[in-house]
Amino acid sequence: MTRIVPAQQGIEEAAKLILKGELVVFPTETVYGLGANAFDEEAVRKIFAAKGRPQDNPLIVHICKKEQVEEIAEDIPEAFYALADRFMPGPFSIILKKSPKIPYVVTAGGETVGIRMPDNEWARALIEASAPLAAPSANRSKHISPTSARHVYEDLNGKVPLILDGGACRVGIESTVLDLTEDVPVILRPGAVTADMLADILGEVSLNGRVIKIAKAPGMKYTHYAPDSEAVCAGDIRAAVREYDRAVSAGRRPVIVARDIYRDVVGDRQIVSLGITADDCARNIYAALHAAEKISDYIIVEEIKGQGIEASVMNRIDKATGGRRI
């Protein structure tokens, strides 16, 4: 049976479980993570079993201080430290050449490893008390990522012993992933740390997260973030309303996922709110999809237009809808 414990009360128990080779769910500012000791091959294998995750999809290693990178990676470039000074802790992961200490199950057999320092005090306290944690999002494979302990429980009850409840995630979408092993650093997954922010430090980056080569970053090779209900993306709110009415006429139970500014246009049709600002949308997108799939068999998501964080939110919407547009 899986237990949910307030994070501030459960660090000691969670650390003991990690050091015994067990799994623990922990909060971060992005989404909840399903963690195991990154140096323990058998413990890491339990992550894939619990999630039903393909073993050719690599994991990110979470650290609590920059010095730990020297255990996890080698041939570390100076750019890492410049980026870490600005964005760590935070919603940002860097891919480096892996250390021999990291088992290949973490990297899906590859020679590179993703590293991140979460901006959540309970996550860092757990790592400090145990070990660097290999961790993907704490949901069943391909389902919506969890931004609350309840989301995790609904997916993984009985598959993990302990969930540390740290409340709702502040950022709400997964970290930006930057590959520093390429000549020009490549953004493999967009997030709250945007291309402009990175170019400020590096001079140039390549935003090329849709190109799949050897799946260095989690969330690239397989469909992710998808609700159980069918989902599509509407180019504007009026298109969403037309699709809603068409679906009702066809005997379906649709819902619109959109920003509050469109409530007047939506009228008395069922809506799940994304909030108002781009940051609201990032924080709420997964919670909104979780809520929508419980009340509907057809989810119509508003397209979020723009650059920076808006583009990162749209990356998740495209994943959730399988790229289907109306």
Mean pLDDT per block of 10 residues along the chain (326 residues) reads 96 98 98 98 97 92 96 95 94 98 97 98 98 97 95 97 97 95 92 88 74 48 78 95 95 97 95 96 96 96 93 93 89
Element housing 135 (H / E): strand 133-135
Query: Between the CA atoms of 82, 307, 229 and 231, what dihedral angle is there, to the nearest 10 degrees?
Result: -150
CATH 3.40.50.11030 residue ranges for the chain: 230-321
What is the pLDDT, as a whole number, of residue 219?
65
Residue from 71, 64, 88, 69 nearest 11 by CA: 64
List b or e across 88-110, with b for residues whose CB sees 16 or more CB atoms inside 10 angstroms: bbbbbbbbbebbeebbebbbbeb
Q: Cα 270 to the chain's mean position, in Å?
A: 27
CATH number, domain 230-321: 3.40.50.11030
Phi, psi of 300 (to 5 degrees): -115, 110
DSSP 325: B
pTM over 0.85: no
C-alpha dist (Å) from residue 106 to 30, 72, 93, 274: 20, 11, 15, 34
- Quick one: pLDDT at residue 221? 63
Q: Is 100 helix (H, G, I), strand (E, B) or coil?
A: coil
Instruction: For the chain, give every residue range classified as CATH 3.90.870.10.
Output: 3-207
Phi, psi of 4 (to 5 degrees): -110, 125
C-alpha separations of 196 from 175, 183, 205 in Å: 15, 18, 9
**pLDDT value at residue 209:** 46
Superfamily of domain 3-207: DHBP synthase (3.90.870.10)
Instruction: Tell me if 95 sits within 8 A of 20, measured CB to CB.
Output: no
Q: Which amino acid is at 252?
A: R
Query: Given this model, what pLDDT does residue 226 score?
Result: 87
Would you state the pLDDT for residue 183?
Answer: 87
pLDDT of residue 212: 24
CA atoms within 13 A on the CB side of 50: 30
Q: Are 137 and 34 in contact (CB under 8 A)?
A: yes
